[in-house]
A and B are shown apart, each in its own frame.
Chain A
């Protein structure tokens, strides 16, 4: 318990602390119970009643392994200190307990769902923790940084406060840049009836514009019929899903799909992002009332794999360095894209080594699930909480780490830096851009 209090004292987050100050104990109790009663539903009951408190889930969690088997970081330990506490005390919990619960739910769990594969009953701890975040959202004590991105979503329909003209301007800029390399290069805007619409997450135009550049080059060199929207709906990311602002999550996904429908495209291809994919095929669509995806959405991993198999992407050169592949939770436990990802990676990096464990059993990056989006105050929580990832990476001896997800990139970068691993992290698109045949390039 002393360790808990210490942590609570150390981590200051104005979003949590200022929010907590304004709350009364009655408000806390009422909000907790209303969310549990109205939204907890059958699954919460089934999950909490099925659990026999055996602790087998601990094996699943990277935080647990990284904290020398401290049970506070086991999935069931986190549920104990959040939802069980809410349930047994019927919402009558202190502000200290509540702050601890916010930190657990937002910064010590990545909602990676690995524990579902380690619980014999299939108890979905990620669902329970997401429900805790929903309570946190309703109480207005979400960590500041991620709440800011959620506000941005609400105000601008993108995650990074990009203004409408900035978005279009960025695309023009990238098109312009690329023409130096490929004179015929276009980023087709608003092309109705194109084969596919390419959607990205807002950090791409904001910080990683080269990714848009690279994707555009790949599509052009493959001779594809594609387009990007000039209106909102271009950003497929969704931090609201992670803050528990499900109403906003639904609005975002509706906007995204309606954008694709307006452009009458056959499908949407999305960039190398994990959480956006989860929001699109699994959570956001359900909130709006679509069983499946109203317009098919294909993740880059799959799209690149299809292009490679169809011979549209031609390998011009391979790289000799020893490479390994990190399976992002939302593309592997989310869509089973592990084999496709490997095949694409191995086509360019024939010198390939698997990390252990791998594929659907890979350790999480500890950045996903909105944890990295909680910002600098919580950076060390996730870095120290994922020592096991550093050990796993080190054991491969690889020089190159391929990770087809933005959040994974951010998290892995911090881990590589902190644990002094000498590794280069790459996206698939980045590799393909470098190594494919570019017939139109000058």
Chain B
């Protein structure tokens, strides 16, 4: 237990975060550099005002028309993404580890709140899976990759939930939790999970074009 736990929370954890943050950073830099050489005019039309206007509009539930047309999806996706980001970042156990490991710390959620949020993440993923089986278009463009990625996101939350409640063997579960969390982080820069970076980039560009050039809203 000691060696595998220490390896997972030590070097592997560092590696995962370096790949996750470094990968996204490199992606950002390489895309901007490539755009500068191949499509430099993108920057000529880039407008922080219209770009942010579009991003913000899409970050408010039920503002975009498509959000209004898909109320269940809107509620689920907002709840899911908020919980997905907030629960792990402000989970007391994570902040404790960080504080004891590198000395950084910030506010935490109560365990009960984090527990509910974890369930919301899992319910959200279950809904996405259900939708991929039933919505004709989603089904049409869902392949093995989509299922793997859904599972990859579900794994750390499911194992985290089971470890927290000490269901099944705790030691196995906590190690699985750490490993699956790291696997998810590593996957982000290399898969469509990178939409966490590309969403604001693409939306800001599109918002600039729609707002600045075409004088119309894009939501």
Contact = CB atoms under 8 A, between A and B. Distances in A.
A10 interface: no
Contacts of B42: 42-43
A291 B205 CA distance: 15
B195 A50 contact: yes
Contacts of A49: 192, 194, 198
A52 B35 contact: no
Contact of B141 (A45, A59, A64, A71): A71
B216 A332 contact: yes
B75 to A, nearest CB: 14
Given A42-B34, A55-B141, A71-B137, A121 B213 contact: no
Contact of A80 (B44, B65, B136, B140): B140
B90 interface: no
Given A42-B39, A336-B215, A76 B137 contact: yes
Contacts, number: 136
Interface string A12-48: 0000000000000000000000000000011101110
Which of A46, A52, A71 is most buried by chain B, counting CB atoms within 10 A of its CB? A52
Given A56-B70, A116-B210, A361-B65, A46 B39 contact: no
A282 interface: yes
Contacts of B217: 117, 360
B66 A59 contact: yes
A336 B192 contact: no
A335 B140 contact: no
A113 B218 CA distance: 10
A203 B69 CA distance: 39
Contact of A120 (B31, B64, B146, B213): B64
Nearest to B70: A56
A334 B137 contact: no
Contacts of B58: 120, 122
Contacts of A74: 136-137, 140
5 contacts: A42-B39, A43-B35, A55-B139, A117-B65, A117-B210
Interface of A: 41-43, 45-47, 49-60, 64, 69-72, 74, 76-77, 80, 116-118, 120-124, 281-282, 286, 291, 332-336, 338, 357, 360-361
Instruction: Report the 7 A-B pairs with minimum CB-CB distance, sorted nearest first.
Output: A55-B137, A122-B206, A71-B140, A336-B215, A55-B138, A336-B216, A58-B137
